[in-house]
């Protein structure tokens, strides 16, 4: 894909190179608008919480990031299963794209979580089941993405990645419960959103979730299209390499 000759014939009007479409433009503008609203409510209009004070504002981005990441990994699981059943490129690319977007959101979730934890618990990190399994999950999906960059033939890579995509979820569950069992012997701790969170705070959190969902859909669609283009380029390179080898053999 680097330095390959231009396949599109040169035309007077520059070719449309964008991966956008009407749908993604609408999602994109909606995402920007809701993000603006979420920032307004999250940072200005809503007030501090009684115990957490202003650090509660981090939850308006932290919880939505994690939820988005989990949804993305859910898509990866579904895509992996469906790929093994149907061998369809669509599901394979959907699984791959969702994993990458998921890793981005999970990374943000971990960072904002640590930043929330420092003023709230007094530590950036706590060895609690949820945190520990999330950290392992983060590394595991980085590993999944690493497989997707390897120099397999496309079918072998898709199949092996699908197997990893399925086992990863299984392992997240195992890690979560084993850590819970381990820590459960010492301390019974569960952290969650305070149910007594006030209306305005709840609304800010809701806006954050909607904003993240819109941003994530925009990213997901574009990532899917970019993945598809990557696959096209890869295949055309394969065809070219084959043709070259055949020519050499013919001589």
Looking only at residues 104 through 133 of this chain, which bind other proteins when binding is defined by CB under 8 A? 104, 107-108, 111-112, 115-116, 118-119
Residue among 43, 238, 242, 243 that touches other proteins (CB under 8 A): 43
CA angle (71 as vertex; 211, 209 as ends), nearest 5: 20
Spatial distance between the Cα atoms of 202 and 194, rounded to a whole number of angstroms? 10
Phi, psi (rounded to 5 degrees) for 49: -90, 160
239 binds other proteins (CB under 8 A): no
> What residues from 128 to 187 belong to the interface with other proteins (CB under 8 A)?
136, 139-140, 142-143, 146-147, 150-153, 155-156, 159-160, 163-164, 167, 170-171, 174-175, 178-179, 181-182, 185
Cβ closer to other proteins: 85 or 245?
85
Burial of 62 (0-12, 13-18, 19+ CB in 10 A): buried
86 binds other proteins (CB under 8 A): no
CB of 222 to other proteins, least distance (A): 5
Question: Which residue do the tokens 């503008």 mark?
Answer: 29
SS3 category, 53:
strand
> What residues from 44 to 63 belong to the interface with other proteins (CB under 8 A)?
48, 53-55, 57-58, 61-62
Cβ atoms 93, 154 nearer than 8 A: no
Residue among 10, 12, 13, 16 that touches other proteins (CB under 8 A): 16
């Amino acid at each position: 894909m680097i330095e390959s000759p231009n396949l599109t014939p040169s035309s007077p009007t520059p070719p449309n190179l964008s991966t956008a479409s009407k749908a993604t433009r609408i999602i994109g503008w909606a995402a920007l608008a809701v993000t603006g609203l979420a920032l307004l409510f999250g940072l200005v209009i809503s007030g501090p919480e009684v115990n957490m004070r202003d650090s509660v504002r981090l939850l308006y981005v932290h919880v939505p990031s994690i939820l988005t990441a989990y949804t993305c990994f859910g898509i990866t699981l579904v895509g992996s299963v469906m790929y093994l059943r149907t061998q369809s490129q669509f599901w394979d690319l959907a699984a791959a794209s969702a994993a990458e977007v998921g890793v981005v959101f999970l990374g943000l979730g971990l960072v904002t979580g640590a930043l929330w934890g420092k003023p709230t618990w007094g530590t950036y990190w706590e060895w609690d089941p949820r945190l520990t399994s999330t950290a392992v999950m983060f590394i595991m999906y980085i590993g999944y993405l690493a497989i997707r960059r390897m120099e397999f033939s496309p079918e072998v890579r898709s199949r092996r990645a699908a197997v990893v995509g399925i086992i990863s979820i299984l392992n997240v569950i195992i890690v979560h419960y084993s850590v819970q069992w381990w820590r459960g012997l010492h301390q019974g701790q569960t952290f969650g959103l305070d149910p007594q969170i006030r209306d305005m705070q709840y609304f800010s959190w809701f806006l954050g979730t909607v904003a993240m969902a819109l941003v994530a859909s925009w990213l997901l669609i574009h990532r899917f299209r970019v993945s598809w283009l990557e696959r096209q380029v890869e295949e055309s390179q394969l065809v070219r390499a084959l043709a070259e080898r055949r020519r050499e053999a013919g001589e």
